[in-house]
A and B are shown apart, each in its own frame.
Chain A
Amino acid sequence: MTADDHIVFIVDDDARIREALRELLESHDMQAMAFGSAGEFINAEKPDLPACLVLDIELPDINGLDLQGQIAESDHPPIVFITGHGDIPSSVRAIKHGALDFLTKPFSDKDVMTAIQAAIVQDRVKRSDRAEIALLRQRYLNLTPRERDVLPLVVSGLLNKQAAAELRISEVTLQIHRRNVMQKMAVFSLADLVRVAERLEIPIIHSRRPGGDQS
């Protein structure tokens, strides 16, 4: 792990904690950005890197748990909560809403570093996942409208003949479209194409099962 392939965001109203955490992270050769309030964090220009959000519960503007709720819809880095006095209801709520860990101050070096690193790994996976889907989506968008019609039929498992009949085109034309789809989506087998379609959440609208929807 190098210093510039990830970032840790620290949100705590206590400057001493921000300072100390940053120092600790730097001693572990990790990059950190610190914010004194939820507002500062939301409005800041943040590098697009695998990240972790270390969030204090007691904040001057809004509560850390409320901030978690606000950013839940967007792609936010995993959250590690830190608090001066952790009560059970708060910790339950935090974990239920997807927090990675919930640490009470003073926390040990080992606990906080383990949590932060786990968060960054998780974020890295999530990010690469997201990047891959973005690439696939881009390829999908390069398909012609007719090719986009062909794709769901092919991945549904219909025979070329059936698919051609469905689209009222000749079997030869369908085969050309199918080859183009495979090329544009950069897959080498039908199985790969099915997986890609799944990741893109392309609905399987036809079934070859007897009695299936043939209309």
Chain B
Amino acid sequence: MTAALLGRRTFLAVTASVAGIATCWLTRTPFGLLAPVSVLHLYADDRAALLLRATWGVALAGATIAASLQANGTSSLNGMSELILYWATFFALALCIGEIIAAKASGSLGIDPVDAMRIVAIIPTDEVRTEQELCDRERELSQFVNLVPSLIWKLNPDGDPIFFNRRMIDYLGLTPGGADKPGMSRLAAIIEAVVHPDDAVSVAETLGRCVVTGDSLAMRYRLRRADGAYRWMSGHAEPMREQDGRIVQWYGLSHDIDDLLATQQALHERERLLWQLVETLPAMIDCAAPNGEPVYRSQRLRAFLGYELEELDGSGKSRLTGTLDAGVHPDDVAGVKEQYAHSLLTGEPYARRHRLRRFDGEYRWVETRAAPMLNPEGAIMQWNVICLDIDGEVRAQEELRLAQGRLARASQAASLAELSASIAHEVNQPLAAVVANSHACQRWLTADPPNMERASRIVERIIRDANGAADVVSRIRALFKQSVETGRSSTVLSNVIAEVCDLMAEEAMRRRARIDIDIETDVPSVALDRVQIQQVLSNLIRNGIEAIDRDSSDKAIRTRVRRTDGAVQIEISDSGPGVEFPDRIFQPFFTTKEHGMGMGLAICRSIVESHGGRLWVEKNEPRGATFIFTLPLDAKMAT
């Protein structure tokens, strides 16, 4: 109790006394006695104790009695001294009674009336202060025990509960004596009443064992809350022993951990789900440290590789090097290492297709992608890697590409054979007549005597049939010219080249060649047959790729487009061995390739010439060949 509070009380008592005496004296009635009653009320509030309200009640009663006695017994209040005496007696009596009742009700013992008088009289002696403090501490302790947000209980040495704090009573909704049941101990009754049926046996057993052995108790169990819901609790109890070691009682604490457990369980479930997801995704998953060292592999990846991550340790190499050397196809490993190192250095995502050795020794095509996982500061914490087995797709794609190539070549050859057969027939028919006639003519001329009449008649026929053959040829040319002209339109050359490069990209990549494109910005559109020019470009680029394939120092095909006087000039350069027979390669059926038909460049030249341009070959510096063709800017067609 602080001095400030005592001062305040004194001040209130004095003020109220003066005001009460003044009222009594001035009004000649005992109503002034109500003033101390008001003070008592305030006093009770200050003590913040419910039981002091009782004091107030007694004081009120006392005041009423005193007032009525005074009104009946004496006719008036004559003197100030008499009035003060009355008031003081009454006040002391009221306070004394109230304080005694309050002290008894709060359970503190040993306060005698004298002490109470002292308290009431607000005499700040040491004893009173000690008593007061003791009382306050007890009250505080009681409040503490009751209000602490935990369930606190006390057991006797036999394990029967003897005390529950207020919070526990409220929490469990216990009624006083409600847990008592005839024929069973209080403990058994309370366990049956509030512990979850599944936990009741273990709680009873554990508690029983602790009571016997004296070990401290710690366990988890479910208790039924007042609203009927079972909630997980964490219960602890410690025995309190006498000096001789005898257990006097058990102090226990139960804490509601249901929300915590639910959260933990949800977390566990989530973690399990994530784990399952990672392990069962139809992909092989790998995690690596920021330096690329693998730290985790999913079951699928381990099964694919056929060894555990730990087996890589102790080989002298890092795990990363070990895994790449052991798994990646020897032809691919250099590229993989280079690109992965680049990604690790720069933090750029990694993606590459390569062959990976399966546990059974078969190399299968996989697509590996890796991306860094960053912390909020942007530093790489981990690399997450996914690896997909795309062997089937890659092989199917390869098959398809080969089939397409074969089909294209076959249809080209077939249509060429068909075309040439029908041309041959058309031309051979008149030629056969010409030949036969010529021989006949020769015989008539060499006969003796020469038959000039018949000879000249035959010569006329020869001329006629030879012209017929020429007609056939020009008819065929006209046919081609027509089909060419209808397909021609003004086209941006860079688009055509881009399309061709897209078409060739796969083949170039397979042969590890690069196609560089350099197009001048002011190249105008040209009237051309898109398909035919694409044919020319793809033919020349393919030739280039095949040329450098044999010699691998510089694997670039350079495609350059620029404007020249009145035409667009397209150059395709390679660094292969060059052209051995520059004047013959454009002839039909001339080839230097093992399986070539010798038609490619001949067709290219005829297409370019039909566009009014030229196609020729030059030496490339320092080595290789440059094929150059022009397309005139004006749309005049060649005839």
* Contact, CB under 8 Å: B424 / A84: yes
Is the CB of A85 closer than 8 A to any CB of chain B? Answer: yes
Bound CA span A59–B42, Å:
138
Selected interface stretch from B434-442, B526-534, B613-621: B434-442
Is the CB of B304 closer than 8 A to any CB of chain A? Answer: no
> Hey, which chain A residues are within 8 Å of B454, CB to CB?
23, 26-27
Q: CB-CB contacts of B392-429 with A at 8 A, as 1s and 0s?
A: 00000000000000000000000000000100110011
Is the CB of A20 closer than 8 A to any CB of chain B? Answer: yes
| CB contacts between A and B, total, < 8 Å | 79
> Hey, which chain A residues are within 8 Å of B439, CB to CB?
24, 27, 108-109
> Hey, which chain B residues are within 8 Å of A104, CB to CB?
428
- What's the minimum C-beta distance from B577 to chain A, rounded to whole angstroms? 38
A105 in contact with B432 given A23-B440, A85-B424, A85-B425 (CB within 8 Å): yes
Q: CB-CB contacts of A22-33 with B at 8 A, as 1s and 0s?
A: 011011100000
* Contact, CB under 8 Å: B458 / A17: no
> Hey, which chain A residues are within 8 Å of B447, CB to CB?
27
* Contact, CB under 8 Å: A23 / B435: no
Q: CB-CB contacts of A104-124 with B at 8 A, as 1s and 0s?
A: 111111001000000000000
- What's the minimum C-beta distance from B598 to chain A, rounded to whole angstroms? 21
- What's the minimum C-beta distance from B445 to chain A, rounded to whole angstroms? 9
Best-surrounded residue of A16, A21, A104 (most CB of chain B within 10 A) = A16
* Contact, CB under 8 Å: A107 / B432: yes
* Contact, CB under 8 Å: B437 / A105: no
- What's the minimum C-beta distance from B441 to chain A, rounded to whole angstroms? 8
- What's the minimum C-beta distance from A112 to chain B, rounded to whole angstroms? 7
Best-surrounded residue of A16, A27, A58 (most CB of chain B within 10 A) = A27
Chain A, range 65-111, C-beta contacts under 8 Å to B? 82, 84-85, 104-109
Best-surrounded residue of B424, B434, B436 (most CB of chain A within 10 A) = B436
Question: Chain A, interface size: which category?
Answer: 20 to 34
A16 in contact with B433 given A27-B439, A109-B439 (CB within 8 Å): yes
Bound CA span A108–B433, Å:
11
Chain A, range 193-208, C-beta contacts under 8 Å to B? none
User: Nearest residue in A to B451 (C-beta to C-beta)?
Assistant: A27
A19 in contact with B443 given A84-B425, A85-B424, A85-B425 (CB within 8 Å): no
- What's the minimum C-beta distance from B554 to chain A, rounded to whole angstroms? 47
> Hey, which chain B residues are within 8 Å of A85, CB to CB?
421, 424-425, 428
Q: Which of A16, A26, A82 contacts B440 (CB 8 A)?
A: A26
- What's the minimum C-beta distance from B547 to chain A, rounded to whole angstroms? 36
* Contact, CB under 8 Å: A20 / B440: yes
Bound CA span A22–B464, Å:
17
Is the CB of A4 closer than 8 A to any CB of chain B? Answer: no
Is the CB of B349 closer than 8 A to any CB of chain A? Answer: no
> Hey, which chain B residues are within 8 Å of A82, CB to CB?
432
User: Nearest residue in A to B462 (C-beta to C-beta)?
Assistant: A20
Is the CB of A166 closer than 8 A to any CB of chain B? Answer: no
User: Nearest residue in B to A112 (C-beta to C-beta)?
Assistant: B436
- What's the minimum C-beta distance from A197 to chain B, rounded to whole angstroms? 48
Bound CA span A16–B461, Å:
8
Bound CA span A108–B430, Å:
14
* Contact, CB under 8 Å: B436 / A23: yes
Bound CA span A27–B455, Å:
10
Is the CB of A14 closer than 8 A to any CB of chain B? Answer: yes
* Contact, CB under 8 Å: A109 / B435: yes
> Hey, which chain B residues are within 8 Å of A20, CB to CB?
432-437, 440, 461, 465
* Contact, CB under 8 Å: A105 / B429: yes
* Contact, CB under 8 Å: B421 / A109: no
A14 in contact with B428 given A23-B458, A85-B421, A109-B439 (CB within 8 Å): no
Chain A, range 98-154, C-beta contacts under 8 Å to B? 104-109, 112
Q: Which of B421, B425, B443 contacts A27 (CB 8 A)?
A: B443
User: Nearest residue in A to B465 (C-beta to C-beta)?
Assistant: A16
Is the CB of B431 closer than 8 A to any CB of chain A? Answer: yes
A27 in contact with B429 given A21-B436, A109-B435 (CB within 8 Å): no
Give 23 CB contacts A-B under 8 Å.
A14-B433, A16-B461, A16-B464, A17-B429, A17-B433, A20-B434, A20-B465, A23-B436, A23-B440, A23-B458, A24-B437, A24-B439, A27-B444, A27-B447, A27-B454, A58-B425, A82-B432, A84-B432, A106-B435, A108-B439, A109-B436, A109-B442, A112-B436
The 3 closest A-B pairs by CB, nearest first: A109-B439, A105-B432, A27-B443
**What residues make up the interface of A, taking CB atoms closer than 8 Å to B?**
14, 16-17, 19-21, 23-24, 26-28, 58, 82, 84-85, 104-109, 112
Instruction: Apart from A23-B436, A105-B428, A109-B439, list 20 A-B contacts with CB within 8 A.
Output: A16-B429, A16-B465, A17-B429, A17-B432, A19-B461, A20-B434, A20-B461, A23-B437, A23-B440, A23-B454, A23-B458, A24-B436, A24-B439, A26-B454, A28-B443, A84-B429, A106-B428, A106-B436, A108-B439, A109-B442
